[in-house]
A and B are shown apart, each in its own frame.
Chain A
């Protein structure tokens, strides 16, 4: 049972455009929703995270939008740059990650110059 569904699988965006990746979850006990960025040959690195008591969190060009009633959250990358080309994973956990992160399947993002 896939508890976190991520879409799209792959995404091509022009430089300067907005990249949008969506995730939906099933377990209403989830209370921590991080996004990770992974470059080839590297481990995932935390990009930004949100809790369900806020609807939006912004850090630089990265914004998480959270819709608790719809059980959905999304990552927006503004002014996308070629250096943003990577695989992005959404995740969810109970208790801040101590019980293990449940990851989406990932989105391979390519920013075309």
Chain B
């Protein structure tokens, strides 16, 4: 079974632009979560989608948004990019939202904002 895939793997943008990142979960997985990883703040939860609905959201500004499609694929959008948005953005999928469900992470999209 293929793992979580994320595209693109690398991205360079300039301040003020917007960016869209894509995540394809493991086949059959319906929950998709997004995380931001930076050297200073570590791994921080952005939001989680299940059945095309955002179920939970971390402490990030409204510039960060996402959506999930009927095939469970998810996209994350960051508008009006700031230098501090440079990070590795990780997507994780799990079969459901139940107790003990393992989250499987993709390789991430490395975003550099200049």
Interface residues of A (CB under 8 A from B): 32, 34, 36, 41-46, 49, 51, 89, 91, 95-106
> What size tier do the contact residues of chain B reach?
20 to 34
From residue B11, how far is it (CB to closest CB) to chain A in Å?
15
* CB-CB under 8 A for A98 and B101, given A42-B107, A44-B43, A89-B43: yes
Instruction: Check if B42 sits within 8 Å of A43, measured CB to CB.
Output: no
Instruction: Check if B107 sits within 8 Å of A41, measured CB to CB.
Output: yes
State the main secondary structure of chain B at its contact with A.
strand
* CB-CB under 8 A for A100 and B56, given A32-B99, A44-B43: yes
User: Which residues of A have CB within 8 Å of B56?
Assistant: 98-100
Shortest Cβ-Cβ A-B pairs, 6 listed? A43-B105, A100-B45, A98-B97, A103-B43, A96-B99, A105-B42
Instruction: Check if A43 sits within 8 Å of B100, measured CB to CB.
Output: no
Report 18 cross-chain contacts, Cβ distance below 8 Å, ordered by A residue: A43-B4, A43-B105, A95-B97, A96-B99, A97-B33, A97-B101, A97-B103, A98-B97, A98-B98, A100-B45, A100-B47, A100-B48, A100-B58, A101-B33, A103-B43, A104-B42, A106-B42, A106-B43
